[in-house]
Amino acid sequence: MNPRIAILHGGGPAPGSAGVFEGVVTQASRLGFEVLGIPEGFSHLRSGNAEAIKPLTLSDVRDASSAGGTFLPTSRARLHRPEEYETALKLLDELGVVGLVAVGGEDTGSSAAVLSTAADERGSPLKVVHVAKTIDGDIHHPEGLPTFGIDTAASEAAKDLEALHAEGLSNPDRMFLVGIMGRSSGELARRAASKAQHDGRGPDVTIVPELFRDKVPLEVVRNVVAGAHIKARARGRRSFVALISEGVLEMCTDESVKHLIADVPQDEHGHIQHSKIQFAYHLARLLEEFHGADRIGLLAGGKAIPATAIDIGYGRLRCGRPTPYDREYVLTVGSAAVSMLHAGKGGGTIFYRGNGEVHFYPFAKSIDPSSKRMRTRPMSLSEYKELLGENTPFLTERDLEDESLIGQTALTQYAFGVRFAAAVSALKHLEKA
């Protein structure tokens, strides 16, 4: 029997997920490996269910890199108890598996690292390679190398932003609050806005978790968006598009959002299920009420500008047909992962540099020793400021005395300053970033 390697996919899907399987199986066939496919992430490994694990052949994975979604079913199951990774190691040993490719984000990477450490401590021949996957762009790498899927997801989101720009020109005097994925990083929102802005059809403002150094009340987030809307109207923009990362909710003080998250379930890793909250919808309702009360940009007859909330679809962001870049990425790292295992190496995450080059980042550097979880990275504020350009969309201290802005409301100068002082203060650090 030829030596065996196995491959699994954990966490949510990302464009290109299926292509890693094609890259792995193709290179494995060249190097004389058999490949076993493990469905549903780590769930069958931790339960010792060998019957669910099946061989994969070249014909199985042909053209998988051009398809959306995962190749095998995924899950958020993790390894976090000694008996679970002991069971996983025993099963892989019985199957003759000497190498495991784990495709996934930081949660999958954390479980892969636990399994890798357990294998080394027990003298097991098993080597583990993690292929970095996340459309949030939040997996830690010292050089900021991207993960696969985010290019496709940002491209798909940019199409929606461009369409909303056209909608606003067609039906003016409207606000659009657009929710987008990004639990711990605003990188996806930044990239999507940048792609749309390149064609002159980007959002008026992009709100990401990294904007706020500390947690702020929900009303401050609302006022940050309202202030940006005031500035946009003063510049002649009758319609307004705000792109909001879902992770902004987690930068709101617990007390101010407890009514939104009280009954929301958490996944196996303890993360809030943002898809069940629809944060953009709640923010849109707050803005409508706020604008009506303060007479911000009122229409004829005293009607408040309507706010429409839109969540950019999970399906297209997570399971869209991959861009050429993402397809190149997954085929390259899938092949490189097998080559590493063939050389008897493992114990880390593999990223794509571009031009056919990959970079291996050891778990010893990416895993926080106290939590045993893979480190995440925030979006770069310097890159975010490039998106903003020279004219910030946010209110500044000087703006609090600007009559052209105050005139967009029914507030006095004093009331305007009181209303927006906390929003200005929350973003003051951007001036030095």
Tell me the average pLDDT across 290-302. 57
pLDDT at 300: 44
Flag whether pLDDT at 199 surpasses 80. Answer: no
Indicate whether 246 belongs to any domain: yes
Choose the catalytic residue: 60, 63, 120, 136.
Answer: 136
Q: Give the confidence band of 338 by pLDDT, cuts at 50, 70, 90.
A: very high
Helices (H), strands (E): how many in the chain?
Answer: 16, 13
Q: Do 183 and 83 share a structural domain?
A: no
Strands of 94-166, DSSP E: 97-104, 127-132
Residue 390 lies in a domain: no
Could you tell me which residue, 78 or 37, shows the higher pLDDT?
37
Higher pLDDT, 250 or 358: 358
Is pLDDT of 390 > 80?
no
- Looking at residues 99-103, what average pLDDT do you find? 98
**Whether residue 267 has pLDDT greater than 80:** no
The predicted model gives 216-228 an average pLDDT of 93
State whether 121 and 222 are in the same domain: no
381 within a domain of the structure (yes/no): no
Average pLDDT, the chain: 89
Predicted confidence band at 252 (pLDDT cuts at 50, 70, 90)? confident
* CATH number of the domain to which 34 belongs: 3.40.50.450
Q: Tell me, yes or no, whether 347 and 223 share the same domain.
A: no
- The yes-or-no verdict on residue 14 having pLDDT over 70 is yes
Q: Is the pLDDT of residue 388 over 80?
A: no
Q: What is the pLDDT of residues 416-432, one digit of tens each?
A: 999 999 999 999 988 77
Query: Does residue 264 carry a pLDDT above 70?
Result: no
Q: For residue 218, what is the domain's CATH number? A: 3.40.50.460
Cα 62 to chain centroid, rounded: 28
11: in domain: yes
Domain shared by 19 and 109, yes or no:
yes
Is the residue at 122 inside a domain? yes
Q: Does the structure show a pLDDT above 70 at 223?
A: yes
Alpha-carbon gap, residue 124 to 178, rounded angstroms: 49
3-state secondary structure 178-199: EEECCCCCCHHHHHHHHHHHHC
In the chain the first and final C-alpha atoms are separated, in Å, by 58
Please answer whether residues 174 and 210 qualify as being in contact, where contact means their C-beta atoms are separated by less than 8 angstroms.
no
Out of 76-80, 224-228, 260-264, which region has the weakest mean confidence (pLDDT)? Answer: 260-264
Residues 114 and 192 in one domain: no
Same domain, 137 and 247: no
Whether pLDDT at 326 is above 90: yes
Whether 383 maps to a domain, the answer reads no
Q: 146 falls in which pLDDT band (50, 70, 90)?
A: confident
- Residue 55 pLDDT > 60: yes
Asked whether residue 362 falls in the same domain as residue 415, the answer is no
Cα separation values, 75 from 15, 81, 130, 306, 425, Å: 16, 17, 16, 39, 42
Structural domains of the chain, count: 2
Same structural domain, 178 and 308: yes
Distance from C-alpha of 110 to C-alpha of 101, rounded to nearest angstrom: 13
Q: What is the pLDDT of residue 277?
A: 65
Partners of 55 in the β-ladder = 36
Query: Is pLDDT above 60 for 102?
Result: yes
For residue 315, count other CB atoms closer than 10 A to its CB: 12
**Contact yes or no for 394/205 (Cβ under 8 A):** yes
**pLDDT value at residue 84:** 94
Active site residue 136: yes
Domain match, 113 and 175 both = no
User: 245 pairs with which residues across the strands?
Assistant: 180
Look at residue 222 in the predicted model and tell me its pLDDT: 93
**From 259-268, 274-283, 319-328, 421-430, the region with the lowest mean pLDDT:** 259-268
- Give backbone dihedrals phi and psi of 178, rounded to 5 degrees, phi first: -110, 115
- pLDDT score recorded for residue 52: 96
Distance (Å, whole) CA 429 – CA 253: 19
Whole-prediction pTM value? 0.90
Same-domain status, 94 and 132: yes
The listed range with the strongest mean pLDDT (27-36, 75-84, 241-250) is 27-36
pLDDT band at 7 (very low <50, low <70, confident <90, very high): very high
Of 167-176, 271-280, 293-302, 359-368, the range with the lowest mean pLDDT is: 293-302
* H or E element in which residue 425 lies: helix 413-426
Looking at the structure, tell me whether residues 284 and 330 fall in a common domain. no
Average pLDDT over residues 270-294: 73
SS (H, E, C) 264-319: CCECCCCCECHHHCCHHHHHHHHHHHHHHHHCCCCCHHHCCCCEEEEECCHHHHHH
Task: Tell me what pLDDT residue 261 has.
Answer: 64
Whether 75 maps to a domain, the answer reads yes
**Residue 398 CB partners (closer than 8 Å, separation 6+):** none
CA dihedral 85, 88, 93, 98 (to 10 degrees): -80
- In the predicted model, is pLDDT for residue 322 greater than 90? yes
Are residue 114 and residue 184 in the same domain, yes or no?
no
State the average pLDDT over residues 243-259. Answer: 84
Is residue 386 in a domain? no
What tokens were used for 429? 């650090």
Give the per-residue pLDDT at 274.
60
pLDDT in tens, 56-70: 999 999 999 999 999
Residues in the chain: 433
Domain membership of residue 8 as a residue range: 4-148+322-374
